């Protein structure tokens, strides 16, 4: 079963790749867009640090590492998550989601791994480069253990992001016009551009336990930049597992309310 | 003729208002976008400035700036890339070309209705935040008087430029990419990441000349009395200049674009 799903997903991915290369001009435009977006983001951080040495206790290099992680995750979401899940929202509204349910594979699989937007790979690469350059500048001597921890935390962060996306998408079964999940997601995700320590207490709690952006950028960045990792490092896996379980259950509950859109 | 156009515009406005009013929850979520981003920078700058001042901005000034920013960025928002561009791509523009009213008016009606419906949610949020944060404020009467014209020009520039980007859909299917670039430049140079006065040298010089500041940052600076005398006059002149330039670009792009328009499925 799992092998079959992987085969299907990779077939979808190949077709996305072919589609992307059919529009090479757009590809170039999108890469330019990624570079410019990144340049203005770095510009923003530079403007802030032209007036201060540290931000919430984070140095320029540490904040740039965090920005790199943010851009990386953002690209990952744009490539692997938002295309499929946004499609679900469209289909539920138009009633064509029926066809997804009729396919002989789990609906959650088709909802999550059907479409890919390949050019977002430029954000993934750029994010990794920013992180790498920032780390070299910081002269952090990452131990093998530290890198392993970082990768594990990043995986947890991505899992949490998936859970949030899935939960937001599921809302479409109640509110048909939740057209733009991307926008709602970004609304909160934007806060992850800067370390969580910057925000006032109540907002920090909100971004840690309700809409856990803290685990997506701040916590992995703590691990990799050699800052003292907070206790959040140890509960990240727990939060990730709980978030994914809750989101998939919510999805099933929402799905059971789906009544198609015949009118 | 003119009164017929206005009557048509009023009718479109009523229709769009009624339509958008159905989607209050969605509107509310979009509206929140206008609040969250300024809050991020409000928080950052109040942390950075501490008890001192940066380019004449003390902590309360930053708070005030970003509170006004929330209002101004909502009122000057351009949504045309989300409304006009898809209708060009899908061919839904066609019926509107047959109407005895330029499609410009419908886009305008949609823009104004969107802002009006969202005000319903945003005003209580603004008032609540202002009451919680309570920044000190000493009014600058000339600035307050000039705020309205500057705001209207900002909204116009924003709408016209937004429409120009949307009309790129006549040529390319991905006008959104170009809009994204524009928006990220506006973020940096328009006064969101920091008030223009706080930007370092060369960025500040670029911001003063380029149009981004005049779509959101400048009216705020005017209202708060941050620009005075010759600087104020020059700013208003540049803003008026960009309004005219944006209108000219709109007309040119519309005329050449609509000739190329080959509606899909129409």
Whether the predicted pLDDT of A248 surpasses 80: yes
Q: Which of A53-62, B83-92, B108-117, B178-187 is predicted least confidently? A: B83-92
Residue among A90, A67, A76, A75 nearest A181 (CA): A90
Using pLDDT thresholds of 50, 70 and 90, give the confidence band for residue A91: confident
Residue B266 lies in a domain: no
Tokens of A92: 């539920």
Residue B32 lies in a domain: yes
Residue A98 lies in a domain: yes
A178-215 pLDDT, tens per residue?
667 777 788 889 899 999 999 988 889 989 888 889 99
Whether the predicted pLDDT of A216 surpasses 70: yes
Tokens of A54: 């540290």
Whether the predicted pLDDT of A2 surpasses 50: yes
Residue B265 lies in a domain: no
Measure Cα distances from A250 to A64, A172, A210, A257, B160 in Å.
36, 12, 15, 11, 43
Using pLDDT thresholds of 50, 70 and 90, give the confidence band for residue A129: very high
Residue B94 lies in a domain: yes
B54-67 pLDDT, tens per residue?
999 999 999 999 99
Give the per-residue pLDDT at A195. Answer: 93
Residue A67 lies in a domain: yes
By Cβ distance, the residue of B36, B173, B187 closest to A40 is: B187
Q: Containing domain of residue B205, as a range?
A: 2-260
Q: How deeply is B201 buried, as exposed, middle or buried, from its count of CB atoms within 10 A (0-12, 13-18, 19+)?
A: exposed
Report which listed range, A231-240, B25-34, B184-193, is most confident: B184-193
Residue B47 lies in a domain: yes
In this complex, do A47 and B180 lie within 8 Å of one another by their Cβ atoms?
Answer: no
Residue B161 lies in a domain: yes
Give the per-residue pLDDT at B30. Answer: 73
Average pLDDT, integer, range B204-228: 94
Number of residues assigned to chain A? 263
Per the structure, the count of domains in chain A is: 1
Residue showing tokens 């066809």: A99
CA distance to partner chain A, nearest, from residue B200 (Å) = 7
Instruction: Give this prediction's pTM.
Output: 0.87
Give the per-residue pLDDT at B170. Answer: 87
Residue A263 lies in a domain: no
Residue A246 lies in a domain: yes
Of A126 and B7, which is predicted with more confidence? A126
* Interface test with chain A among B24, B58, B184, B190, by most A beta carbons within 10 Å: B184
Average pLDDT, integer, range A151-158: 94
Residue A160 lies in a domain: yes
Per the structure, the count of domains in chain B is: 1
- Distance from C-alpha of B104 to C-alpha of B102, rounded to nearest angstrom: 5
**Average pLDDT of the residues of chain A:** 88
Q: Which of A81-90, B56-65, B210-219 is predicted least confidently? A: A81-90
CB-based contacts of A159: which residues, under 8 Å, 6+ apart? A240, A241, A243, A244
This complex has an ipTM of 0.84
* Interface test with chain A among B25, B29, B195, by most A beta carbons within 10 Å: B29
Give the per-residue pLDDT at B1. Answer: 57
Phi, psi of A40 (to 5 degrees): -70, -35
CA distance to partner chain A, nearest, from residue B231 (Å) = 23
Q: Containing domain of residue A49, as a range?
A: 2-255
In this complex, do A51 and B54 lie within 8 Å of one another by their Cβ atoms?
Answer: yes
Average pLDDT, integer, range A18-29: 78
Residue A180 lies in a domain: yes
Residue A261 lies in a domain: no
Q: How deeply is B230 buried, as exposed, middle or buried, from its count of CB atoms within 10 A (0-12, 13-18, 19+)?
A: exposed
By Cβ distance, the residue of B30, B48, B177 closest to A48 is: B48
Residue B141 lies in a domain: yes
Of B137 and B61, which is predicted with more confidence? B61
Residue A260 lies in a domain: no
Flag whether residue A54 sits within 8 Å of chain B, measured between CB atoms.
no
Of B106 and B25, which is predicted with more confidence? B106
In this complex, do B26 and A199 lie within 8 Å of one another by their Cβ atoms?
Answer: no
- Distance from C-alpha of B44 to C-alpha of B37, rounded to nearest angstrom: 11
Residue among B183, B175, B179, B156 nearest B245 (CA): B156
CA distance to partner chain A, nearest, from residue B3 (Å) = 36
């Amino acid at each position: 079963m799992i092998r079959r799903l992987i085969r299907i997903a990779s077939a979808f991915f190949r077709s996305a790749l072919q589609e992307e290369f059919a529009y090479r001009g757009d590809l170039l435009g999108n890469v330019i867009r990624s570079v410019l977006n990144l340049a203005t983001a770095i510009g923003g951080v530079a403007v802030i640090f032209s007036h201060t040495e540290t931000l919430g206790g984070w140095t320029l290099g540490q904040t740039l590492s965090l920005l790199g992680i943010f851009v990386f995750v953002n690209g990952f979401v744009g490539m692997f998550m938002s295309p499929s899940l946004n499609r679900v929202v469209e289909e539920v509204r138009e009633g064509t989601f029926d066809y997804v349910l009729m396919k002989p594979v789990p609906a959650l699989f088709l909802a999550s791994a059907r479409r890919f937007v390949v050019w977002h790979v430029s954000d993934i690469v750029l994010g990794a480069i920013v992180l790498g350059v920032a780390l070299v500048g910081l002269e952090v001597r990452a131990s093998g253990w530290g890198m392993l921890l970082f990768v594990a935390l990043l995986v947890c962060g991505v899992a949490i992001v998936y859970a949030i996306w899935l939960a937001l998408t599921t809302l479409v079964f109640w509110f048909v016009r939740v057209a733009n999940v991307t926008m709602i997601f970004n609304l909160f995700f934007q806060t992850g551009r800067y370390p969580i320590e910057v925000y006032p207490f109540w907002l920090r709690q909100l971004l840690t336990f309700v809409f856990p952006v803290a685990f997506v950028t701040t916590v992995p960045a703590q691990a990799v930049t050699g800052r003292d990792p907070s206790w959040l490092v140890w509960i990240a896996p727990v939060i990730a597992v709980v978030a994914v379980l809750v989101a998939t259950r919510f999805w099933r509950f929402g799905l059971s309310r789906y009544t198609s859109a015949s009118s | 003729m003119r009164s017929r156009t206005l009557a048509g515009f009023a009718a479109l406005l009523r229709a769009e208002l009624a339509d958008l009013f159905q989607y209050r929850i969605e509107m509310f979520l979009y509206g929140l976008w206008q609040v969250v981003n300024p809050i991020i920078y409000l928080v950052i700058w109040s942390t950075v400035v501490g008890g001192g001042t940066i380019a004449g901005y003390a902590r309360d000034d930053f708070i005030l700036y970003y509170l006004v920013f929330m209002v101004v960025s909502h009122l000057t928002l351009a949504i045309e890339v989300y409304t006009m561009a898809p209708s060009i791509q899908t061919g839904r523009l066609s019926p509107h070309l047959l109407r005895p009213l330029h499609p410009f008016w419908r886009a305008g009606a949609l823009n104004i209705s969107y802002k009006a419906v969202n005000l319903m949610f945003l005003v209580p949020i603004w008032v609540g935040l202002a009451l919680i944060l309570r920044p000190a404020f000493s009014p600058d009467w000339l600035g307050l008087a000039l705020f309205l014209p500057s705001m209207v020009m900002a909204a116009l520039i924003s709408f016209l430029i937004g429409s120009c980007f949307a009309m790129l859909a006549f040529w390319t299917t991905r006008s959104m990419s170009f809009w994204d670039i524009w928006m990220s430049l506006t973020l940096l140079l328009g006064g969101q990441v920091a008030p223009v006065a706080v930007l370092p040298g060369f960025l500040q010089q670029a911001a003063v000349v380029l149009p981004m500041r005049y779509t959101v940052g400048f009216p705020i600076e005017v209202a708060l009395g941050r620009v005075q005398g010759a600087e104020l006059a020059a700013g208003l002149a540049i803003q008026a200049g960009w309004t005219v330039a944006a209108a000219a670009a709109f007309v040119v792009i519309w005329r050449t674009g609509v000739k190329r328009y080959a509606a899909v499925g129409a």
